[in-house]
Amino acid sequence: MGSRSARNVTVAITGLAADGNPAPGVAVARSLRAARDFRGRLVGLTFDHRFTGAYSSYFDAVHLTPPPASGEGVYLTALQRVAHTEKVDVLIPTLDPEALLCAAGHRGLSRMHIRTLLPSDSSIRRRAKMMLPTLAPKAGFTVPRTLVVTSRATLDAALRQLALPFYLKGSFADARLIVTLDQAYIEFDRLSARWGLPLLAQERIVGDELNVAVLYDRDGRRVGAVPMRKLGVTSQGKGWAGVTLDAPELIALADRLMRALEWVGAAELEVIVDRTSGAVNLVEVNPRFPAWIYLATAAKTNLPWTAVRLAVGERVATLPPPPPGVLFTRTVEDHFGSFDRVTALAGPNGTKEVRA
Amino acid sequence: MKPHVTVALTSVHGGDAPSAGLVAAQMLRRQQALDVRLVVLATDAFADGIQGVHVADRVVVVPPLARDPEAFVARIRDLARKERRLVLVPGSPGDTIALASWQPALRRAGARAILPRPVQLRELPFPANGRGVRSPRYLVVAASNRLQALRRVWRYPVGVRWADGEQAWAYNATDLHAILAAGPAGAVAGVYEAVPGIEISVATLARDAAPASLVVARPLHVSENGVVWSAVTMANPRLVADARRAMAALRWRGPAEARFTLDDGGRLWFTGLTPGFPSWVSLTAAAGQDLVLQYVQLALGARPGRPSTFADEVFQARVSVDHSTTIDVLRQLVTEGETSHAARSRDHLRTAAPDHAHAPLHQ
């Protein structure tokens, strides 16, 4: 596909959950709206009509799509319908399973003339939580001790081998700090019912929680990186406040890892720097922008807009590092409208809600 | 020229449990009737101070009211000396309860507020013992007799509502025991029999016994921690009349959220009252009844108007968004205990949401 201007493109964005544990979709949309040169349309894609981001005024239209668990065929067929109606030029999946589906289905997307900026599906699989203990040390990271939990018997083994408290994690998302034996079994049942098996039991490292959002072009060149220190976390461990950092060493480690993964597009690395040893523990690599990505935009490093430009084939210079000391806090906006908007999205035709 | 007033708000915080204080601050920023200067009273530079920066003209770190009421009142006195007309808006149920207990001192300090009478606080969460209001069977469980409650429950499931608005469901005695044991120390809980139907929330404001205004809504998307993320107004005249009658019978003073169950027969069952505005209070303005603005006007001495209507089926969707500031603002809050307009660039003074976030409104 040749290059064109990103200025007037239609961008479809997934991940519209926007409650206390938001998905990144609204933050990506806000970043595109904040880009001075962007004059295009934004189309929201959601698999649940209750996600409040679907009713925000950042989107020109919103469509209901099948959940990623429906599989690649069903998902791409639904995307084809949306692409036909909305003339989608660029797709930004912001949920882990959707990124994997879209990477695997890149040929189908290409036939629909939808452009993405994604790594291969094998790159995405290689950064899975279970693979990190093998991969991360080669790039210079330490990895917290992690055990795969496939049954109650392996949970028992984890309870014997890891000191409490430790984290029990779903394979895609969700993590709970396990403090007691009873809680371990309750959370095992809850997480496995919600996310399937296997789960991961991971040693808890106490230290500074740092995240870095990165963006690589199709040649694997890093175009931008925004490191952030979490300053406040919710009861679920999600950051509600953070501040940009000057952290060239962390970015260098990220580069080494992402080069090994032959990464293309956006990612977020979550690390904990051990207060005693100074070791940089790699906890997760997410194949998408993080929910806090608007901080990057506020710090004059608009990674979502840069991703759209790269996706359509524009040449983009490497972005300068963001200034340290830019701080975000999570607040809320209320959006109002007629209840008809809900019934339109949830109804039997079920698919379209257009901003007035 | 618009009348000028300084409004001081408590509990302005977002995160995964946005407070009524935050939402009220955003509403006061958007309203056009008054020239409002907003002061956020934070108890900690980081925990809530930094979260008030993007909505407030001034953020002041004050001693926590519940822990150090005399110092809090002294700080209000200082503020009232500098700010000509000062109205105090409680931003959470806990703050409403705490402020209500100190009304005479706050009044003497120069702050105006509309708060419940202290005697009403002792009746929570079923004020006036629910007299004249249809309610399911309920028990008010004091901290000292929590275990006795287990023997008195009629049938499960039961709802448990604490005076500060926290709510949980118990499906058996073990659940109820765990919920009561985990409740706030010394707090009173209401335990009520479940009535099949849909949950209704009523935001109400009264300066005297009868509600000056109320808006009825159905919470739609409620997260695991009990926070309402979307809601829709219900303006069915019979429902509104029933809610108004119930609120008049409860004789509550000040802002409140009353919870009801609407059964299949269209009857309202009162299931408890939480002092202060609910966090979905912005929906009242979108539906044509700005309860926060009315609170400020009533506190300034305006006469309550005739009860007026609100728009039906106005939908509210609450969206988490991040706002930026700089570490220097946090440093200033920590070291100087306050930050204000003059100390910050215009970037930090934008209202909480872009203009397009709030249109179109139904009238």
Whether residue A336 lies within 8 A of chain B, CB to CB, comes out as: yes
Query: Rounded mean pLDDT of B178-198?
Result: 86
Query: Rounded mean pLDDT of B175-185?
Result: 83
* Whole-number pLDDT of residue B167: 87
pLDDT digits (tens, 9 = 90+) for A100-139: 999 999 999 999 999 999 999 999 999 988 889 899 999 9
Closest CB to A335: pick one of B14, B317, B330: B317
B281: tokens are: 């209070």
CATH code given to domain B4-113+321-358: 3.40.50.20
Higher-pLDDT residue of B174 and B116 is: B116
| Burial profile A142-170: b = 16 or more Cβ within 10 angstroms, e = fewer | bbbbbbbbeeeebbeebbeebeeebbbbb
For the cut 50, the answer to whether the pLDDT of residue B361 exceeds it is no
Name the pLDDT band for A336 (thresholds 50, 70, 90). Answer: very high
For the cut 90, the answer to whether the pLDDT of residue A349 exceeds it is no
* Whole-number pLDDT of residue A2: 55
For the cut 70, the answer to whether the pLDDT of residue B351 exceeds it is no
Query: Which residue in A has a C-alpha nearest to residue B285's C-alpha?
Result: A336
Do the Cβ atoms of B16 and A234 come within 8 Å? yes
Cis peptide before B184 (omega within 30 of 0): no
Do the Cβ atoms of B221 and A52 come within 8 Å? yes
Cβ contacts of A292 on chain B, cutoff 8 Å:
322
For the cut 90, the answer to whether the pLDDT of residue B174 exceeds it is no
* B162 bridge partner residues: B189
The CA distance from B156 to the nearest CA of chain A, in Å, is 22
Work out the mean pLDDT of chain B and round it to a whole number. Answer: 88
Cβ contacts of A328 on chain B, cutoff 8 Å:
322-325
* Whole-number pLDDT of residue A220: 96
Written as one letter, the residue type at B293 is L
* Whole-number pLDDT of residue A158: 93
Alpha-carbon distance of B169 to B193, in angstroms, equals 10
Considering the segment(s) B198-317 as one domain, its CATH architecture is 2-Layer Sandwich (3.30)
Share of chain A above pLDDT 70, in %: 97
Cβ contacts of B314 on chain A, cutoff 8 Å:
336-339
Query: Rounded mean pLDDT of A143-164?
Result: 93
Do the Cβ atoms of B320 and A232 come within 8 Å? no
* Whole-number pLDDT of residue A356: 38
Burial of A324 (0-12, 13-18, 19+ CB in 10 A): middle
Range in A125-139, B50-64, B216-230, B330-344 with the lowest mean pLDDT: B330-344
Alpha-carbon distance of A15 to B319, in angstroms, equals 13
A324: tokens are: 């340290």
Query: Which residue in B has a C-alpha nearest to residue A297's C-alpha?
Result: B324
Name the pLDDT band for A341 (thresholds 50, 70, 90). Answer: confident
* Whole-number pLDDT of residue A238: 84
For the cut 50, the answer to whether the pLDDT of residue B145 exceeds it is yes
* Whole-number pLDDT of residue A348: 67
pLDDT digits (tens, 9 = 90+) for A270-302: 999 998 888 999 999 999 999 999 999 999 999
Query: Rounded mean pLDDT of B196-215?
Result: 89
Which residue out of B44, B322, B323, B358 would a mutagenesis test of the A interface target, given it has the greatest number of A Cβ atoms within 10 Å?
Answer: B322
Whether residue A53 lies within 8 A of chain B, CB to CB, comes out as: yes
* Whole-number pLDDT of residue B211: 73
For the cut 90, the answer to whether the pLDDT of residue B188 exceeds it is no
User: Number of residue pairs across A and B with CB atoms under 8 Å?
Assistant: 185
Range in A1-5, A128-132, A144-148 with the lowest mean pLDDT: A1-5
Query: Which residue in A has a C-alpha nearest to residue B218's C-alpha?
Result: A339
Do the Cβ atoms of A327 and B223 come within 8 Å? no
Query: Rounded mean pLDDT of A234-244?
Result: 88
Query: Rounded mean pLDDT of A36-48?
Result: 96
Cβ contacts of A240 on chain B, cutoff 8 Å:
14-16
* Whole-number pLDDT of residue B354: 41
* CATH number assigned to the domain with residue range B137-193, chosen from the 4 options 3.30.230, 3.30.1490, 3.90.320, 1.10.238: 3.30.1490
* Whole-number pLDDT of residue A252: 97
Share of chain A above pLDDT 90, in %: 79
Asked whether A48 and A17 are in contact (CB, 8 A), the reply is: yes
Name the pLDDT band for A352 (thresholds 50, 70, 90). Answer: low
Cβ contacts of B46 on chain A, cutoff 8 Å:
231-232, 241
Whether residue A182 lies within 8 A of chain B, CB to CB, comes out as: no
Domains by residue range for chain A, with CATH: 10-117+334-354 (3.40.50.20), 124-131+206-329 (3.30.470.20), 145-202 (3.30.1490.20)
Alpha-carbon distance of B153 to B181, in angstroms, equals 16
Domain coordinates of chain B in residue numbers? 4-113+321-358, 137-193, 198-317
Asked whether B231 and B220 are in contact (CB, 8 A), the reply is: yes
* Whole-number pLDDT of residue B308: 81
* Whole-number pLDDT of residue B344: 47
Query: Which residue in A has a C-alpha nearest to residue B12's C-alpha?
Result: A331
A31: tokens are: 């970043």
Work out the mean pLDDT of chain A and round it to a whole number. Answer: 92
Name the pLDDT band for B176 (thresholds 50, 70, 90). Answer: confident
Cβ contacts of A59 on chain B, cutoff 8 Å:
none
A118: tokens are: 């994604």
Query: Which residue in B has a C-alpha nearest to residue A294's C-alpha?
Result: B322
For the cut 90, the answer to whether the pLDDT of residue A10 exceeds it is yes
Residue with tokens 């728009």: B311
* Whole-number pLDDT of residue B345: 45
* Whole-number pLDDT of residue A85: 92
For the cut 60, the answer to whether the pLDDT of residue B353 exceeds it is no
Alpha-carbon distance of B108 to A54, in angstroms, equals 48
Query: Rounded mean pLDDT of B178-189?
Result: 82
Name the pLDDT band for B140 (thresholds 50, 70, 90). Answer: confident
Q: Which long-range contacts (CB under 8 A, 24 or more apart) does B45-48 make?
A: B45/B330, B45/B333, B45/B334, B45/B337, B46/A231, B46/A232, B46/A241, B46/B330, B46/B333, B46/B334, B47/A232, B47/B13, B48/B11, B48/B12, B48/B13
Whether residue A346 lies within 8 A of chain B, CB to CB, comes out as: no
Closest CB to B315: pick one of A19, A231, A338: A338
For the cut 50, the answer to whether the pLDDT of residue B362 exceeds it is no
Cβ contacts of A20 on chain B, cutoff 8 Å:
15-17, 223, 225, 227, 229, 320
Range in A256-260, B68-72, B81-85 with the lowest mean pLDDT: B81-85
Which residue out of A33, A190, A240, A334 would a mutagenesis test of the B interface target, given it has the greatest number of B Cβ atoms within 10 Å?
Answer: A334
Name the pLDDT band for B359 (thresholds 50, 70, 90). Answer: very low
For the residues of B82-148, what is the DSSP string, one character each?
HSSSEEEE--SHHHHHHHHTTHHHHHHHTEE-----HHHHTTTTSGGGGTTS----EEEE-GGGHHH
Alpha-carbon distance of B58 to B348, in angstroms, equals 11
Query: Which residue in B has a C-alpha nearest to residue A16's C-alpha?
Result: B319
* Whole-number pLDDT of residue B343: 45
The alpha carbon torsion through B331, B334, B336, B337 (nearest 10 deg) reads: 140
Sign of CA dihedral B316, B317, B320, B323: negative
* Whole-number pLDDT of residue B358: 41
pLDDT digits (tens, 9 = 90+) for B264-299: 999 999 999 999 999 999 999 999 999 999 999 999
For the cut 50, the answer to whether the pLDDT of residue B352 exceeds it is no
Written as one letter, the residue type at B310 is F
Neighbours of A96 (CB within 10 A): 20
